[in-house]
């Protein structure tokens, strides 16, 4: 019998819970007359802790929990990923309305769409590119850099680490068997990039060497993915 790694079990449980949640999601209500109100109305993905009216009601809610967002007047403003301990307390998922069920299929579709767009736009050059770019591609905190048959995945948000298995599966569908895969996981609860790398844990989950080969039309060189 195939044994799941700990992170694989966590990922599948998290996705299953999202798809079959029995209780309504927590709701974060924004304050009135925010200086950034226009930006938020236009879809800016980041919401700071001092912009949430009922922030104290979100104390104790686990990082990575999906939260419905509403304006001060109760109008729906989408769905966000919560980290109560970070200054960016909510990262909105573009194009998902408040109350919408977030399923594994929806999340997979965002990865597939981003990979397909790179392939269509860049052609052969898509073998070496930023294949997925967090908020821009609809999954906050998920970065994927492709190096031929290898890849580096960075989860820059604590809650996004729970998508590790899903990202690996979609990468394999796109690229085929991965020669090397390096994963950087944010572990600092406040998600601050100011600790000279100690805010992340890093592991090579496929392959052995830390260097990957980059091949361009006029040059080729090695990149150490642990640097």
The predicted pLDDT at position 19 comes to 47
* Residue 199 pLDDT greater than 70, yes or no: yes
* Distance between CA atoms of residues 25 and 168, nearest Å: 27
* Residue 15 pLDDT greater than 60, yes or no: no
- pLDDT band of residue 198 (cuts 50, 70, 90) is confident
Q: Which segments of the chain does DSSP mark as H helices, in order?
A: 6-19, 37-41, 104-122, 164-175
Beta strands in the chain (DSSP E): 27-29, 46-48, 66-70, 76-82, 88-92, 128-133, 142-147, 150-155, 180-186, 200-206, 211-215, 220-224
pTM: 0.86
- Burial pattern 26-64, b for ≥16 Cβ within 10 A else e, equals ebbbbeeebeeeeebeeeebbbeeebbeebeebeeeebb
The predicted pLDDT at position 21 comes to 47
* Distance between CA atoms of residues 177 and 197, nearest Å: 29
The predicted pLDDT at position 14 comes to 53
Please give the mean pLDDT across all residues of the chain: 89
- pLDDT band of residue 226 (cuts 50, 70, 90) is confident
Q: Which two tokens stand for residue 222?
A: 């090695």
Q: 152 φ, ψ to 5°?
A: -120, 125
CA Rg value for the chain: 19
The predicted pLDDT at position 20 comes to 42
> Which region among 20-24, 66-70, 163-167 has the lowest average model confidence (pLDDT)?
20-24
């Amino acid at each position: 019998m195939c044994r799941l790694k700990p992170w694989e079990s966590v990922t599948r449980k998290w996705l299953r819970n999202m798809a079959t949640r029995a209780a309504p999601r927590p709701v974060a209500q924004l304050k009135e007359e925010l200086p950034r109100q226009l930006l938020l109305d236009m879809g800016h993905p980041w919401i700071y802790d001092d912009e949430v009216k009922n922030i104290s009601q979100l104390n104790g809610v686990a990082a990575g929990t999906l939260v419905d967002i509403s304006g001060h007047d109760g109008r729906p403003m989408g769905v966000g990923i919560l980290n109560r301990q970070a200054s960016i307390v909510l990262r909105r998922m573009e194009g998902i309305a408040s109350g919408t069920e977030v399923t594994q299929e929806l999340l997979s579709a965002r990865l597939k769409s981003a990979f397909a767009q790179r392939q269509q736009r860049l052609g052969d050059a898509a073998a070496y590119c930023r294949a997925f770019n967090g908020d821009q591609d609809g999954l906050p905190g998920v970065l994927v850099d492709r190096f031929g048959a290898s890849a580096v995945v960075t989860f820059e948000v604590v809650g996004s680490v729970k998508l590790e298995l899903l990202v690996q599966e979609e990468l394999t569908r796109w690229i085929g068997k991965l020669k090397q895969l390096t994963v950087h996981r944010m572990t600092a609860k406040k998600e601050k990039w100011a600790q000279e790398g100690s805010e992340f844990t890093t592991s090579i989950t496929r392959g052995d060497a830390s260097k990957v080969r980059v091949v361009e039309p006029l040059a080729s060189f090695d990149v150490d993915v642990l640097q």
